[in-house]
Structure 1
Amino acid sequence: MRKLIYLFLLLTVNFGCKDTERNLETKTANSAVQLYHNGDILTMDSDQPTYAEALVAKDGKIVFVGDKAKAEEKYAEAEKIDLNGKTLLPGFIDPHSHFGMVSNTMGQVDLNSPPVGDVENIADVLQKMKAYKEDKNIPDGEWIFGWGYDESQLEEKRHLNKTEIDSVLPSNPVYLVHTSGHMGVANSMALEKMNVSAETKNPEGGSIERMPNSQEPAGLVQETAMYPFVGNMLKILESKQAEFFAETQDKYAKNGITTAQDGMTDRNAINFFQSQADAGKLEIDLIALPGFSELDKNLNDSTLVWKTYKNGFKLQGTKIIADGSPQGKTAYFTEPFLTEVPGCKSECRGLPSLSQEALNDLFLKAYKAENQLFIHSNGDASIDMVIAAHENACKKLDQPLDKDRRTIVIHSQFVRPDQLKTYKEYNIEPSFFTNHAYFWGDVHVENLGKKRAFFLSPIASAEKLGLKYTNHSDATVTPIDPIFTIWTAVNRVSRAGKAIGPEERATPYQALKAITSHAAYEFFEEDQKGSLKEGKLADLVILDKNPLKVKPMEIKNIEVFETIKEGTTIYKK
């Protein structure tokens, strides 16, 4: 099992509590003085929307926020930047995505369904894979990878199988990554190369789908069963990291993001990211999380510097995978799915990725070392396990249940109301994923029923409890687009145009907090980022319209006009 978990870390090619001291050895801030005015300068510095007439940035930091006349008097030498009615906000902070995986998709076949891609059925998938081999002149025997297919959006409403892929690519090993990132489909040659056969048993926490009335693998591998396949894929794609690095961070910057996250990072990726940072190639800040299978090694490694930026890159905390994907039907629930689950015959409640004992052990070690934890947990049964592990560690270490650790439950998709209250009591914070309301809201209603589906990523309830929730894209699962994430939080409209839990709709201001002030808090960076306040970094984003002043359904049409990192423009439309 541990060997499989280690292979999973290779999967992510993507590594980091409370210390935000910056090291600017090679990252030089803009020394010019800039005075922004004549627009909506939304400070994000209070519970209610607050505007300023002017903002002044100098030496990469905000030195003034307030009255325009006073700003002009105090900084007469400043370059005046007329916003012309546009909106100035703190730079967006990415609460959770996979920077390295975004980079890796640039070397794979895009199999996403509309509106992200154009795949509508299995024939489209097969045609794209066949065309990719021909267009790229890929020789027989070489691996071919695809990403983003979603069986719930295909006309056939099912996964592909190995024989279908074999029909167009019989001479290449092929692996297709599901949009959830928690499963994939391999063809016959790929299964053979990964030593998966009729004799191969399901690994703990994983499932290998079989052909009808047979033990022969069908091609679909879920959760821990997919780790060797994705580990192999990322090892092969690793050579292209440098090639796609600049393009990847440009993608983040174009979306107004000044601080990005790599949601699970192995040693090779840590070394690569730090080398890029030390060479002055990081224009944004990048936060990385190491994977849980290397926790012992990482905590005892004196060469790893945690919690502190070096040239824009830092290690923040440890990432744990506690369960699977709700749309992939591998998230772990207390009540079963209402529809058929591949590889399961009855009482199908999904899969915990770890035993309670293993999860308890990880919490105990991390809490003892003051190491911040980020736990991927979607289903309510998985969240029960997280809460139990937290209680166990606090009891054994004689620590307060509400100590300021900022344990983050990533996704918290189907958290129950009682669990939200426990979050508040224990000082645990959720990082929600409201994009699911749009992309899979209709699927969740079908698979889980309205009661559970309508309470997904409940920002409104979290706000009432006073939680500092965040909201993310989980790219590559959904696109990097904070504006769209705001739109999904505010509207909660599905692909079919149906409201998914309208009572949990966030206000535009709450949705903005989730990617600015609350996101800074998640990373212990609230003293430096997340709001427009004197002394904080001049990490800024300019939008063509104010999300608080347009109709809710029009928010998604707002465009990023400019992104500024420590006073320096890194993107301008």
Structure 2
Amino acid sequence: MSRSARLRPLARKDAVTSMLDLKLVNASIFTMADAAPTARAMGVLHGRVVGFDDDILHFPAQRTLDCAGAVVVPGFGDSHNHMAWFGQSLAELDLSGCRTLDEVYDAVSRFALDLPEGAWVVGSGYDDTVMGAHPHRSGLDRSAPGRPVWLKHRSGHMCTVNTEVLERTGVLNGSAATPEGGKIVRDSDGPTGLLEEQAQKLVTALVVPYPVTDLADAIGAASGVYASEGLTHVVEAGIGSGWIGRTPVELAAYVEARRRGLLKTRVQLMAASDAMHPLQSHSADGITFGLDLGIASGFGDDHVRLGAMKIFIDGSLIGRTAAVTEPFCDHGHGTGNFQLSLEELTQRIVDAHCSGWNIAAHAIGDAAVDVALDAFAAAQQKLPRTEARHRVEHAGMVRPDQLSRFASLAITPVPQPHFLFEVGDTMAVAVGPERTPWLYRHKSFLDLGIRVPGSSDRPVASGAPLLGMQSMVTRRTSGGATLSPQERVDARTALKAYTVDAAWTAGEEDLRGTLESGKLADFVVLSAHPADVPPDEIGRINVLATMLEGKCVFGQAYLDELQTTHHTTSVQPQFHLERQTD
């Protein structure tokens, strides 16, 4: 049975005293649906849209909102973010504003003064490309003597720690082996404190697993921010294991956040490939790799659902650890690196595909994109699965010859448009002018019929969807340059990326992404439509209210001002929920 549903009025003979839960009137509703793209009124019953305009205006409602012409669009989706990581970062030392190493060291000193004895100094968001270098362990030792200090790079693909942490990890006495796919950076005096990629697991091993209750609090804090930005659905890009995981039982934290009423956003969770393992099943089942009990993509409900398997192929373009075919143009970083051997990466993708999983392959550099596409081709050759919705996360550098392979293999790229503004200038320097047109493409994919969903990679970059839409339209960097203007799209296309295409990429287009009868009543009230303001003003549009299943998760005070009627009694046809079968 499909998860989709439609609502129809019962015959007049079945009429009973009934009413809508919510009715919007005098609104500028943009449904994003092809059949009826605009409306002025909308009805909601039992968390679903039940109709528009004349079909619902005569129905009474528990609550009627006169929107006074405000814009209503489907709720926004973010196809790639790190919710628990972002939620935890809200309580950490914010280093994103630091422009020099001395500013970092001073911030660490001030932050340490307010901590209890022995507590860790944990900071996040520093950018070595802005400061000219990474913090050094000796400077961190002076800033917070006797304390462990752990500073996370904004990319998430590296971190810097002080001597205390290096001693606890065993790096200084030589007892710690460098994990495959990682690097312990050294200078003439030994380890500098910089740990790249998988080497970060030496630090996370000291602090994970985090308690589920603490993670639930962090998820709730993140969810509150998301609701204020119009997000009603996000994809968490990696839980359970590896340097990205917070605990082997991380899914339980999302369930706990929902149970406690903290979760204001629907969440689809990617399982990290490191959390998966070989499975035994009947030979006819073909389930050889995954999670215990045969749980796979799609398990869960409309609020918390398991999505794709997340596998890291390479590193970060910001940190120059992405795998590229030709060397980076600065810092002598060579061609980056792969997280695992190519044989292991390919085998995991093929095994997961054959076991029924959708797969999200983190591939930023063009060499990593080659590996991902080759692995997807091998998987489909071994077991054709036309229903699979495999993805390349980031697709940061895509050569012209690779574009057609995305189309032929039906692979969805998931780039982050706001990277162009926040780190576009340094990315352009890293790859040089000949490769700059390959960065975070958009229109080139659309021209081949490939969907491009909106996403942020928060907290690596700001996650407000309207800022992401603005970057899709302008492709402007913080330094004022325009990167590859031929890849720009118009505002309506940008809005589609964060609604229709985000829902499709998650495999939930029958539930959300458009406002249609039978779909979830997840929507956002805006002060303006993105297409009706200058491109540079899209990010300044106000989110007035965010609704999940017709219930307010942000902007209650605004909605209270709109309310015009309360409970009224009338005899009208009752809406009946009818499930459709495939």
Instruction: Please indicate, yes or no, whether the TM-score normalized by the shorter chain is above 0.5.
Output: yes
Aligned to 2:488: 505
Equivalent residues in 2 for 1:265-344 (5 A)? 265-266=239-240, 267-296=248-277, 299-302=290-293, 304=295, 306-310=297-301, 312-341=303-332, 344=333
Deviation at 1:549, TM superposition (A): 0.7
| Superposed displacement of residue 198, structure 1 | 7.3
1:106-255 → structure 2 map (5 Å cutoff): 106-113=90-97, 119-136=98-115, 138-139=116-117, 141-154=118-131, 157-197=132-172, 199=174, 202-211=178-187, 213-214=188-189, 216-235=190-209, 240-255=214-229
Q: Verify the 8 A CA contact 2:27 2:70 in the aligned structure 1.
A: yes
For the residue of structure 2 that corresponds to 1:538, the secondary structure is coil
Q: Secondary structure of 1:95's match? A: strand
Which is further off, 425-434 or 271-280? 271-280
The number of equivalent residue pairs is 526
Unaligned runs of 5+ in 2: 6-18, 241-247, 279-288, 559-582
Q: Distance in 2 between matches of 1:503 and 1:198?
A: 53
Task: Please name the residue that 1:388 is paired with.
Answer: 374
Cα distance between partner residues in 2 of 1:228 and 1:106: 23
The 8 Å contact of residues 217 and 257 in structure 2, kept in 1 or not, is answered as no
Report the CA distance between 1:188 and its aligned residue: 0.8
Aligned AA (2:525):
I
Query: Which residues of 2 match residues 474-489 of structure 1 at below 5 A?
Result: 474-489=457-472
Matches within 5 A, 1:8-157: 32-46=20-34, 50-65=37-52, 68-73=53-58, 75-77=59-61, 79-113=63-97, 119-136=98-115, 138-139=116-117, 141-154=118-131, 157=132
- Measure how far apart 1:79 and its partner are: 4.0
Partner residue in 2 for 1:471? 454
TM superposition shift of 1:238: 6.1
Q: Residue type matched to 2:34 in 1? A: S
C-alpha displacement at 1:127, in angstroms? 1.3
* Matched residue type, 1:85: G
Residue 242 of structure 1 deviates from its aligned partner by 3.7
SS at 1:514's partner residue?
helix
After superposition, the CA RMSD in angstroms is: 2.3
* TM-score, scaled relative to structure 2: 0.86
Asked whether the equivalents of residues 87 and 220 of structure 2 are also in contact (C-alpha less than 8 Å), the reply is: no
The question of whether the paired residues in 1 share the 8 Å contact of 2:220 and 2:264 is answered with: no
How far apart are 1:174 and its partner, in Å? 0.8
Q: Is the 8 A contact 1:277 1:310 kept in 2?
A: no
The whole-number CA distance in structure 2 between the counterparts of 1:239 and 1:59 is: 30
State the one-letter code of the partner of 2:76.
F
Tell me the residue number matched to 2:335.
349
Rg (Cα) greater in structure? 2
| Per-residue CA distance 1:301-350 (angstroms, 9 max, x = gap) | 12847514347211112111111110100011011100114xx5xxx011
Q: Which residue of 2 aligns with 1:374?
A: 360
CA offset digits 1:233-290 (Å, max 9, x no partner): 4535766324434322111111111112221111321122223334554332121111
Partner of 2:426: 443
User: Hey, what does 1:407 align to over in structure 2?
Assistant: 390
Q: Residue 276 of structure 2: SS of its match in structure 1?
A: helix
Report the alpha carbon displacement of residue 296 of structure 1 after superposing the two structures with TM: 2.1
Aligned letter for 1:271? A
Measured in 2, the distance between the counterparts of 1:202 and 1:279 equals: 40
Paired residue secondary structure (1:364)? helix
Deviation track 1:382-412 (CA, whole Å, cap 9, x = no partner) reads 0100111112222233x26xx2311011111
Rounded to whole Å, the distance in 2 between the matches of 1:167 and 1:280 is 43
Return the offset for 1:32. 4.4
Change (3 A) 1:69 1:394: closer
Give the 3-state SS of the residue equivalent to 1:496 in structure 2. coil
Residues 107 and 237 of structure 1 are in contact (CA less than 8 Å); yes or no, is this contact kept in structure 2? no
**SS of the counterpart of 2:113?**
helix
Q: Which residue matches 1:8? A: none
Kept in 2, the 8 Å contact 1:469–1:514? The answer is yes
The match for 1:6 is none
Structure 1 residues 147 and 176, CA, compared in 2 at 3 Å: closer, same or farther? same
Do 1:332 and 1:378's aligned partners in 2 also have CA atoms closer than 8 Å? Answer: yes
Could you give the per-residue CA deviations for residues 222-243 of structure 1, whole angstroms, max 9, x where no partner exists? 0111122134345357663244
Amino acid at match of 1:126: Y
Q: Matched residues, percent identical?
A: 28
The residue type paired with residue 174 of structure 1 is V
Cα 1:382–1:91 change in 2 (3 A) is same
2:271, 2:308 within 8 Å by CA — same for their partners in 1?
A: yes
The alpha-carbon distance between structure 1 residues 509 and 451, as it changes in their structure 2 partners (threshold 3 A), is farther
Deviations 1:84-130 (A, max 9, x none): 222101001120101110121133211112xxxxx221111111111
- 1:358-396: per-residue Cα shift (whole Å, max 9, x none)? 112112211111111111110010010011111222223
1:460 and 2:443 correspond: yes
Query: Cα gap change, 1:559/1:77 in structure 2, threshold over 3 Å: closer, same or farther?
Result: closer
CA contact (8 A) 1:145 1:174 kept: yes
1:305 and 1:412, CA in 2 relative to 1: closer, same or farther beyond 3 A?
Answer: closer
The match for 1:416 is 399
Residues 11-63 of structure 1 deviation map (CA, whole Å, 9 limit, x = unaligned) = xxxxxxx97579xxxxxxxx84322232321111239x932232221111011
Which one is further off, 84-93 or 261-270? 261-270
